[in-house]
Amino acid sequence: MSANAAREQEFLEYVQSGGQVESTDWLPADYRQKLIKFIEMHANSELMGVLPEREWILKAPTLQRKLALTAKVQDEVGHAQLIYRVAEDLGKPRDEMFADLLSGKAKFHNVFHYPTKTWGDVGVIAWLVDAAAIISQKALLKCSYAPYARIMKKICWEESFHILHGRDVVLAMMTGTPEQQELVQEAVNRWWGPLMQFHGNPIAREEDPMYLWRIKSQGNEEARQQFLEGYVPQIWELGLTVPDSNLGRGDDGVWVYSEPDWAELKSVVTGHGPRSQERLDFRRRFLEQEKWVRDSLVAA
Ligand SMILES: [Fe+2]
Ligand SMILES: [Fe+2]
């Protein structure tokens, strides 16, 4: 074994036993590259994830709802800022990350490629999409890369507030008129597929390179099971139905469900979702429009 391979093996054993590393530590090239890819996609998702909700700030039904939604959107942009900083520290400049996002080379999460058709979507996104996201993000508190794990504390705290906001929107509608209830049900029907795809295909965690390096501390299926266990009973309790007749909790406590559409997931995250290009165009336009601000800050 070469000296480098031995060092890499030692690093692997260290992170697999729960050890955490800092940006100033020696990092294997493969680890650094996987970390950047993972963190960059997370940052892109926070940044692109504000767009579906942003559309509803002007259309929010009351002043209180408008304030809460505005605050949530600001939180998400803040998350993007924090996470991009961590990726920058690992060696990828932000300009390059934006260029890769806009060219389609770097991805963002599937759920942010879909339209927000009604106010019901706003509730379902903040409640269930943020719930799915917080499951992954809570698992990142144990990430082997300490700077990323640290910022997750602040992010998870804010995400749990987003879930409360979403649940409140959904509750208000479910205790409202039949038309409001119908808007929520219709939103759940449309979002269920993307939500089930959210945690990715059920590859064994031992075969997942992100788990191997302990960037992630749980497997995809574990995360999905946690989501189902935490939220399906709540969805049912509100009188909503889930559009999957096979969904149920087995005697062994494991949830069974119809196979998510993995082909759709692949096509959506590679930029072929119903709103992918429109949202990337939006980002492109704003990056160009605000270039003078960045240039004057750099010049100052
Ligand atoms: Fe967020
Ligand atoms: Fe959030």
Kindly tell me if the per-residue pLDDT of 95 is higher than 80.
yes
Q: How many whole angstroms separate alpha carbon 59 and alpha carbon 61?
A: 6
Question: How far apart are the C-alpha atoms of 279 and 45, rounded to whole Å?
Answer: 12
Distance 299 CA to ligand 1 centre (A): 31
- Residue 65 alpha carbon to ligand 2 centre in Å: 15
- For the stretch 18-69, pLDDT in tens is 999 999 999 999 999 999 999 999 999 999 999 999 999 999 999 999 999 9
Query: At residue 33, what is the residue type?
Result: Q
Secondary element (H or E) of residue 35? helix 29-54
Q: How far is the CA of 17 from the centre of ligand 1 (A)?
A: 28
Instruction: Tokens for 276, please give them.
Output: 């992918």
For the chain, domain boundaries: 19-299
Q: What's the pTM?
A: 0.95
Angle subtended at Cα 271 by Cα 268 and Cα 275, rounded to the nearest 5 degrees: 80
pLDDT band at 144, cuts 50/70/90? very high
Q: What is the pLDDT of residue 48?
A: 97
How many Cβ atoms sit within 10 Å of the Cβ of residue 123? 26
User: Could you tell me the distance, in angstroms and rounded to a whole number, from the CA of residue 70 to the centre of ligand 2?
Assistant: 12
Model confidence band, residue 3 (pLDDT cutoffs 50, 70, 90)? confident
Domain spanning 19-299: which CATH class is it, in words? mainly alpha
* Ligand 2 center–CA 34 separation, angstroms: 24
Q: Where are the beta strands (DSSP E) in the chain?
A: 248-249, 255-256
- As residues whose CB is below 5 A from the ion ligand 2, the structure lists 130, 159, 162
> What distance in angstroms lies between residue 162's CA and the mean position of ligand 2's atoms?
5
pLDDT at 294: 87
Q: How far is the CA of 298 from the centre of ligand 2 (A)?
A: 30
- Note the pLDDT of residue 107: 97
* Structure confidence at residue 42 (pLDDT): 98
Binned at pLDDT 50, 70 and 90, residue 2 comes out as confident
Q: 267 vs 40, 52, 271, CA distance in Å?
A: 20, 19, 7
The closest ligand to the CA of 132 turns out to be: 2
What number of other Cβ atoms are within 10 A of residue 149's Cβ? Answer: 17
